[in-house]
Amino acid sequence: MNVTELLDMNGRVGCVTGAASGLGFAMAEALAEAGAHVVMTDVDAPGLDAAAARLRAAGLSVDTEVLDVSHLDALERVVDGIVARHGRLDAMFANAGISAGPGFAFGDAGRIGQIDLDHWRHVLDVNLTAATWSIKAAAKHMIAQQGGRIVVTASIGGIRAEPFVGYAYAATKSAMLNVVRQAAVDLAPHNVLVNAIAPGPFLTNIAGGRLHREPLIAAQFASAVPLRRLASPDEIKGLALLLASPAGSFITGTVIPVDGGATAAV
C-alpha cells in the first residue's frame, strides 16, 4: 500500500461531535478531504449549518445532526441513525467538550475553593460521560463490522497540572485518558482502535472564544509553549487523519500530545 492509499478514506463513513468550529471542524474537514462521508454534529445549529455549507461548497460529502451530546439517548440515536443510513461507521471522533472556566493562574475564581457543584456536574456530563457514551455508541457497530477507529479529544490539561484550566476540565480530560486505554484493550480483539489526541493551546471558540477576544490571555497561553505561539485548528488535521485512516492500523491505546512542546518542557 503506497502513501496515498494509506491516507485514503474513500468509501468510509465518519462522525465528528462538536464539529461546528475549531478542532471538530478541522477533523471533519480532514476526513472529508481524504474522501470520507462525514456526519457533523453540534449543539450549535446555525454554526453547524454554516460549517457544513462551507465544506459542501468545496465539493466535500457531509451531512449534519444537531446534537447535545449530554443527552445520551439522543447521542446513541444519532450514531444508530448513521449506520442505518450508510451501512457502517468507520471513524468516530468524540470531540465535543466545554470549558470549566479559568484556572487558578487567572486568579481566585479558578481556585479549588470556588468550584461550583452544578457547573462541575455539567462539565462531567459533557466531557466525561458523553465522551464515554460516544465510544460506547460507536463500539456497538464497530464490533459488528469487526473494525473501526475511535478518537477522543483529550487535553494536555489531563496529562499534567495545568494552571490555565479549571478543575472540572482537568478532571474530565484526565479521566478520559484512562477510559481510552481501557476501551483500547477491551476492543482490540475486534480490530477497533481507540486513541486520544491531547491538544495544547489552540485558537478555538472554547470558553466562548476567549482566546480570540483577549490577546493578553492568548499571550499567556502562548508563553507556556516552547514554540511561543498558539496552534491553528488546521494543525490537528494530520494526526486526526492518521488515526482514522489505514496509516494508523497499528496504533491503539495511545495519548498523543499536539502541544508545541509544552509537555516536553515540564
The residues, any chain, with a CB within 8 Å of residue 261's CB and separated by 6 or more, are 225, 226, 227
DSSP bridge pairs for 63:
39
The residues, any chain, with a CB within 8 Å of residue 156's CB and separated by 6 or more, are 162, 198, 199, 200, 257, 259, 262, 263
Name the one residue in this structure whose C-alpha cell is 479549571: 166
Q: Please, how many CA atoms are within 13 Å of residue 35, restricted to the half-sphere of its CB?
A: 11
- DSSP H stretches of helix in 188-233: 206-213, 215-223
What are the catalytic residues?
Answer: 169
Evaluate the CA torsion angle 203, 67, 93, 120 in order and state its sign: positive
Q: How far apart are CA 236 and CA 260, in angstroms?
A: 12
Name the one residue in this structure whose C-alpha cell is 490539561: 157
Contact 92, 134 (CB under 8 A): yes
